[in-house]
Chains A and B, each alone.
Chain A
Amino acid sequence: MSADHHGSSAISERVRHVEALLEARGLVDEGEIDRRIDEFLAGGSPANGARITARAWVDPDFRDRLLADANAAIRELGLSMSGGLQEQRLKVVANTEDEHNVVVCTLCSCYPIALLGPSPAWYKSEAYRSRVVRDPRGVLREFGLELPAGTRISVWDASAESRYMVVPRRPEGTDGMPEEELAGLVTRKGLIGTAAV
């Protein structure tokens, strides 16, 4: 096995073989799996997560609804978690002055593709997946994020059916900045919790 578990050519060969068998036996149409994947990925981009974050920054009521029931709240922005075969539960957690959240999938690489697009290679690496639950402060430091000693760290392991997104803290000095401009400040790492914004 390679360290990045999607990078193995042996696995790619097996996947192609299984796909060919499924097509040969008429269980899926030719190219159906690729089409389904394309449909799933269409529209998935960190820009969605950034829009949600900017709205949460400017609208405290929306932020409350987002933290209470994220699936319902993101529909207000025309977004949804139902790009796959069934709607996935979304859990959104917000960073505060006292608490920083960071997301991982230690068992595989579960990720909110509809809101963040395909996941970055480091998110799928064994190094990140095994170390961030054990030593999040050290791992975040390697990402260039030095948290104050008093900041509690909460790690969320996407070990079952939910997907997670972090709302980073609104940067200082952005009072009065328009929502669209605020969204432009938000990074993919910020939405996973490995950057401040």
Chain B
Amino acid sequence: MADRFAPGDAVRTSTADPAGHTRLPRYARGAVGRVVELAGHHPLADDRARGLPGTTQAVYHVRFAAADLFGDGDHAVTVELWEDYLEPADPRGGTP
């Protein structure tokens, strides 16, 4: 399957709070960031932690402005996120 996102794309992270394991850090939920680069293809960690084979999908470095994560701060945080955690986002913060 083709990758859904490319470098430069604005993405919004999921707000879901799954009962089991996930590799979407809590501080980065529901936030808008920008795809920096593709970081390979890997089975979804959430599935593997439940003993499932996991669908292999794209993993991206996604860069967030600290202010968009925490409400303040002038630094950036780059998080590595599976495609399932991401939706397209309007770069100005709304949804398309």
Contact = CB atoms under 8 A, between A and B. Distances in A.
Range for the number of chain A residues in contact with chain B: 20 to 34
Interface string A171-186: 0000000000000000
Listed residue (A153, A155, A157) with the most chain B CB atoms within 10 angstroms of its CB: A157
A157 B70 contact: no
A160 B44 CA distance: 10
B23 A160 contact: yes
Contacts of B39: 89, 91, 160-162
Nearest to A134: B70
A136 B75 contact: yes
B75 A162 contact: no
The contact size tier of chain B is 20 to 34
Interface in B42-67: 42, 45, 59, 61, 63, 66
Given A91-B39, A134-B70, A159 B23 contact: yes
Interface of A: 89, 91, 106-107, 133-137, 152-162
Given A107-B25, A135-B73, A153-B75, 20 more contacts: A106-B25, A133-B77, A134-B27, A134-B70, A153-B76, A155-B75, A155-B76, A155-B77, A156-B77, A157-B25, A157-B77, A157-B78, A160-B39, A160-B42, A160-B45, A160-B59, A161-B40, A161-B80, A162-B39, A162-B40
